Amino acid sequence: MSSVLILIGGGHASGKRTMAHMLSDTVKSTWIDAGMEIAIWDMEKYNTEKDNQAAVTSYSAIAIDSTGNLVKKPSRYDIGQLKKDLKEDMSGIPSGSQKIYFVHGLYALYDKELRDMSQIKVFMSSDPDTRLIRWIRRDVVEGKSSLESVIYSYLKGARQEMQDFIFPTKEMADVIMPRGAEHNAASLIVDGIVSHLTQKPLDKLYAGGASLRPTSSNVFGGEVLDNQKATFYDLT
């Protein structure tokens, strides 16, 4: 297998981007001389409304319902183009090389074809209050948005979007992370990537001798995440 695709979905400000970079850093610090390239793809690049955002909110609305709430739907993301770009990029991987893709976004687990393309699916699951606090810290404290716009976005759109479209994708996940991005959980996910990466003995790939990584290439033979039907790993 020349490419490995890991999808990271979840609610607004749940730690998807942080988790993608944490996994990337963990892979880089764990394996040496494995000939692997790593790419992080943000689904916001495929948000068709991104350039037409309303001034009062951090993301624009497709419509307004009878209650005055913003109606946010998955269709504002061009998932078809994302899949096309991924396939094109994967087809260009040189023979004998390997590339790991981390794709993160609200709807990373929404599309069936995209899920079928992946090897591991992660859902970042945090309670609403925690996510709102993270959202405020990320956008308000860093000066990206006003407190008013974040609160408005959450109450008038994001909360309902989470309930209607994003939360149901949790059932599609192989791994559920209820407390956001954590290093121990990242290490476990990286261990799950092992069987998809290479046929070389793992003890020749892991850096140093202090790692608690498996030392046999068949350790995860019985736990390939794709083959666990109706099963997910809840890292509580």
- Helix then strand then coil, % of the chain, to nearest 5: 45, 15, 40
State the average pLDDT for the chain. Answer: 77
Specify the higher pLDDT residue, 204 or 51: 51
Quickly list DSSP for 70-81: EE--GGGB-HHH
Compute how many other C-beta atoms are within 10 angstroms of the C-beta atom of residue 14: 28
Q: Give the pLDDT band of residue 169 (cuts 50, 70, 90).
A: very high
Q: What is the pLDDT of residue 234?
A: 55
pLDDT at residue number 122:
96
| Third-level CATH fold of 4-202 | Rossmann fold (3.40.50)
Q: What is the pTM of this model?
A: 0.75
pLDDT reading at 52 higher than 70? no
> What pLDDT score was predicted for residue 102?
98
10, pLDDT greater than 60: yes
For residue 18, the number of C-alpha atoms closer than 13 Å in the C-beta half-sphere is: 16
Q: pLDDT category, 135, cuts 50, 70, 90?
A: confident
List the domain boundaries for the chain: 4-202
Task: Report the chain's C-alpha Rg in angstroms.
Answer: 19
pLDDT average, residue stretch 24-41 = 82
Average pLDDT for 94-101: 87
